[in-house]
Structure 1
Amino acid sequence: MKRFKYVMQDKLAAVSLSVLTITVIAGLFAPWLAPHHPEDVHMELRYAASSWEYWLGNDHLGRCILSRLLYGIRPSVLWVFVALAVSVLCGGIAGIAAGYFRGRTDAVLMRACDVMLSFPGYVMTLAVIGILGVGFENIIIAFLLSKWAWFARVIRTAVMAYAEADYVKFSKAIGVRDAHIIAKHIIPAALPEIAVISSSSFGSMILQISGFSFLGLGIQAPHAEWGMMLNEARAVMFSRPEMLLAPGVAVIVVVSAVNFLSDALQVALDPKLMSSRQKQPLPAAVMTSGLHGKERGGMVG
């Protein structure tokens, strides 16, 4: 609770959390918030400017840009979050098992991670696309295959430190089951670090899915996605640059909010960073004004 209060005291983090909350709600309720269906074509409104009916104008097929922007939250943010959650879950199970049990379990799991991490993430994604074909679902599969190993290795490092704690050794000595120790001691202790690495990966995954869709490898027409909207507006980027504005700003704002919130979480969940932040020296102007105040007080006395 104290850590959450510290995050909320950071104005930038509070604004970032508000932006992400509004984005998620808008994506979940897109069918009710969107003024038009995102796939309705109106060629007579091709490249139409903004109006009271179409607040952000229309694209090259006369489709409502605002509606497509709201529906684009689902693949660009919500499904990426689902892929992140599954990757963290799989990586967490492997990392906790390897870091806690050690021995042969650790050796087998880490060799599997080494094999997966030997392929760069983009190479793995392109390989999956080449085997399974172009599509948003295949990119999500590639994310799961490439991300879980990285999470497993990072979580294993954290768990190894907590597994050597005295209270864990005492629990083993008195005969407490391993499953109970992991659930009651290891996972709660490692959860802050898992939250930090997950939040820091969320922004990069949003950029990656938008980048692949921009290249035509992700979600396909007529479905809406921010990267694909940027690709569709590329043909008129000089004559109608405002067409790039809505999806571009959406990607920048959401990714920036994720990164700012991740930084605040890292400070709030790390006692060393929090103590150093709280012990930062006062600005020179404040110290000078305080000294002047003391001098004036001494002169009056």
Structure 2
Amino acid sequence: MQIHTETIRQYYQRVGHPVPAGFQPGEGHFNVRRRNYIPGLLPYNRRDYYKICLGTGQMTHTTAKRKTVIRQPAIIYSCPSLPVEIEATSADQGGFTCIFNDAFLLNGLRQEIRYESPLFNDALEAVYPLDEAGVQRFSHYFLEMESLMASDYPHKYDMIRNLLFALIHEGIRLVGPAEAKVPVGADRLVTRFFHLMDQQFPVDSPESPLKMMTPADYAGQLSVHVNHLNATVKKSTGKTTREVIHERIIAEAKTLLLNTDWDAAEIAYALGFEYPSHFAKYFRQYAQTTPLLFRETARAGMLVNI
């Protein structure tokens, strides 16, 4: 079994909109549309695109961390690596949704911003309730992007990128002070290390297990001595390379336990463990509980209301 990754083309098919003329996978893509009511669940998927949603109307937003019942207007930042399930629970859905891919950004966003934004950092909260002033402020950005998309101005996508960057920064302001994966001004080697680690995740299938699990594995790929990598990561993050890797593996293990029906053995193999018993011991060491007990207790306590 795999956790499905929805493509942009599949997104349009699911919401019942035609694929825009000229769309080519891998090329830069952006679109904005008005939200409407789609009955039933939006399936639990990862995605190969980013999405920012200004939503009104009651809905539930479920991730590996929690199930959030949204009863007031909210802005939602969807990180592609974080599997999400959404259900509209009232018919009065409104607001806007915009989607875009990495190619559309043209590397215009500074690397450190990616670790401060919930759009790129799946460790940060994704849903933020808005008051009336907040709804008006965010609506302005979406309305401007909608107007530009309908225009024939030759440089409209440059203007849209500026508005999109503003939406991303608005999200960072909502997050407030938070511990990012990589601190601002981090050493370039640390940024490369986290980028390499991000390439391993998410884990989609036991048939495609993790390949790098130790500092030495990463040092080899980065063509540096493991001691140099350890010292640089420690200086920038306050954690050892091994601690950072372990935290990411445990976080992925929790995601798979909560949001798949894989048994412990399948999760063990997917995470690169040769034997399920080694995974069980590892998980207990870092999570202070067994994998199956974590699955049972965490699923029972995920509901949050906003």
TM-score normalized by structure 2? 0.26
TM-score normalized by structure 1? 0.26
Q: Which has the larger radius of gyration?
A: 1
Higher helix share: 1
Higher strand share: 2
